[in-house]
Amino acid sequence: MRCGVVATRPGSRSCEIVDRVIKSCLASFDVDSFFLYLLDRKSGFLRRRRELAHCDGLESSATMSADEDENAAELKIGEEFLKAKCLMNCEVALILDRRLEQLQQMSDDPTNQMSQVFEKSHQYVKRFSRYKNQDAVKQVREILSRNKLAEFELCVLGNLCPETVEEAIAMVPSLKSKGRALEDDAIEKMLNDLSLIKKFE
Amino acid sequence: MVFLEIGMNEDIVVPFHMLDLERLPLPKVILLNLLHRISCRKASNEHGYYIAITTLHTISELHQDEDTGAILFTVSLSCTTVKPCKGEILIGTVTRILEDGIILKYGPMSNILLSETRMNDYELDMSEEPMFLNVNGLSYIKKGTKVRFKVLDIKWIEREKDFIIWATILGDYLGPI
């Protein structure tokens, strides 16, 4: 199989063919095939780029994730999550706001120094942060830290802000893992404190 | 994906012609060089997507390349990154509705595939606007909808410096919000 870039017009024959191949990829989770979709907003065409990894591994650009047993639900996470400090969306929003201010001071054209990754991440955290105020963000971390949670668990709870104990356990099943089961009362108090911060922010 | 603050070392090469101290202070040259390197790198399998440098810790003594005259520094810094993790619960936004599934985006990631087989009780409805409609009619998923999903599998694509995520909404408290 050769690699190619297929530019298609919606409704065209080549569009139908690519759609059929995409269907099988989505349905089968074929690890040797994947599709990347690039929407060319300027031209309005959907450009689909197909790369097929050879079964014998030749020029394979797809690699399995480093740890086959990785599972955040059981807190089996990679070393990078254990070594690094984990940050909540609201904390990252403050960091990126500050970073943007610094870029504006340093450079005449700050957008020149901003990568697409920065822009998209900034948009995401601004939209999905539950807490905007710096003091509120600090309080959220303090409350979550009181309950002997792993950094990863703390951030997931701070990002998703579950409203009930059942929801919190569904989002972070490791809260009830063997040997460190958090009491329901403690989880409920934690969630109530978080919602109070949101209420009075 | 949880955001991480990681420590790393970077080797910076400053071309000799950029060392005009009257026009641009040296630390600024180093920082701009660093910013450019990080923005070009985009992502790695080890650290995920590189978002922003947060702190410059130390800059080593300079060394000069005898052949080119360029100045070399080793910089120790902290950087904010984001990396997906299997089993994690995330909130993404729908960017495209296909016959057999949905494509979502999350922050810098735009290749999150949610197959129809991983969406219980949702059927494609192309009548007015393409969407997946719950069989009980109480909820729908269309372009722009926020969806809470679980990360099923992750692939790192070295050539694109990008991740692909397979997602599922089979589970409690998952689905459109």
Best mutation target, B24, B29, B34, B86, to test chain A (most A CBs within 10 A): B86
Q: Number of residue pairs across A and B with CB atoms under 8 Å? A: 179
pLDDT in tens, B67-117: 877 778 788 888 999 999 999 999 999 999 999 999 999 999 999 999 999
Q: Map out the domains of chain A as residue ranges.
A: 13-200
Task: Considering only residues B30 and A133, tell me which one the structure prediction assigns the higher pLDDT.
Answer: A133
* Whole-angstrom distance, CA of residue A96 vs CA of residue B52: 7
pLDDT of residue A80: 73
Please check whether residue B175 touches A, CB under 8 A: no
In degrees and rounded to multiples of 5, residue A187 shows phi and psi of -65, -40
Banded model confidence at residue A161, pLDDT cuts 50, 70, 90? very high
Q: Cβ(B98)–Cβ(B11) under 8 Å?
A: no
Distance of CA A38 to the CA centre of its chain: 19
**End-to-end CA, chain A:** 57
- DSSP 8-state assignment for residue A74: G
* Whole-angstrom distance, CA of residue A141 vs CA of residue A145: 6
pLDDT of residue A112: 64
Q: Calculate how close chain A gets to B82, using CA atoms only, in Å.
A: 9
* Element at A21 (helix H, strand E): helix A13-28
Q: Which long-range CB contacts under 8 A does B15-23 form with residues at least 24 apart?
A: B15/B68, B15/B70, B16/B68, B16/B69, B16/B70, B16/B71, B19/B71
User: Which ipTM score applies to this complex?
Assistant: 0.85
For domain A13-200, which CATH number applies: 1.20.950.20, 3.40.50.620, 2.40.50.140, 1.20.1250.40? 1.20.1250.40
Given a cut of 90, is residue B163 above it in pLDDT? yes
Q: Calculate how close chain A gets to B85, using CA atoms only, in Å.
A: 6
Please check whether residue B51 touches A, CB under 8 A: yes
Of A62, A87, A170, the CB nearest to B155: A62
**Interval A52-73 mean pLDDT:** 49
Task: Considering only residues B148 and B127, tell me which one the structure prediction assigns the higher pLDDT.
Answer: B148
CB proximity under 8 Å: B 115-144 to A = 115-117
The CA-atom distances, in angstroms, between A72 and each of A148, B73, B151 are: 17, 38, 9
Average pLDDT over all residues of chain A: 72
pTM of the model: 0.76
Give residue A13's identity as a one-letter amino acid code: R
Best mutation target, B1, B4, B126, to test chain A (most A CBs within 10 A): B4
